[in-house]
Structures are given as C-alpha cells and as structure tokens.
C-alpha cells in the first residue's frame, strides 16, 4: 500500500507543478511502472519491496531533475 501512496503523491506533485512538460509526465509514467514491477516481484511488507521502491523514487528524482533542466533550457532558448 505504501508504494501506491508514493505514486499518488508523485503524480499529484507532477500535476501541481508549473512545468507540465511531456518529459515530466514521462518520468511519472516510468515511476508508476517501476512501482508496479516492485509490487509484482516483492512481498509488500518486505525489505526487498522497500529497496525496490526506493530505487524507483531515486530514478524518478533523477528523471525529474533532467526534465526540469530541459524545460528550463527550452524556456530560455524561446526567450532569445
């Protein structure tokens, strides 16, 4: 159940962000798929599940940072 809550929180954060970029949406989708994969492979209450979920979150955070950087670069280049 905990991974589902984190997925919802991440999707809400992505939805509330000023940057609803396709890249950020892709990050959220990848995170959802990652969490689903964790749920299929590990017992929901296990340490393996927590490690898997943490890896999904870490990947999402990296993806989000890259997406935000691309969005910012795109905005900057459109100003000139």
With 0-12 / 13-18 / 19 or more C-beta atoms within 10 angstroms meaning exposed / middle / buried, residue 21 is: middle
Encoding tokens for residue 72? 């910012």
pLDDT(3) > 90: no
Total of domains in the chain: 1
The parent domain of residue 11 ranges over 2-79
pLDDT in tens, 45-73: 999 999 999 999 999 999 999 999 998 88
**Maximum Cα–Cα distance across the chain:** 52
Q: How far apart are CA 59 and CA 1, in angstroms?
A: 20
Q: How far apart are CA 19 and CA 15, in angstroms?
A: 9
Q: How many CB atoms lie within 10 A of CB 23?
A: 16
pTM of the complete model beyond 0.95: no
């Amino acid at each position: 159940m905990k991974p589902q809550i984190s997925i919802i929180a991440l999707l809400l954060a992505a939805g509330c962000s000023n940057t609803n970029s396709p890249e950020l949406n892709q990050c959220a989708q990848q995170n959802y798929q990652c969490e689903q994969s964790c749920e299929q492979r590990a017992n929901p209450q296990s340490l393996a599940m927590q490690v898997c979920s943490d890896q999904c979150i870490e990947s999402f955070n990296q993806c989000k940072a890259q997406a935000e950087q691309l969005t910012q670069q795109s905005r900057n280049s459109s100003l000139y």
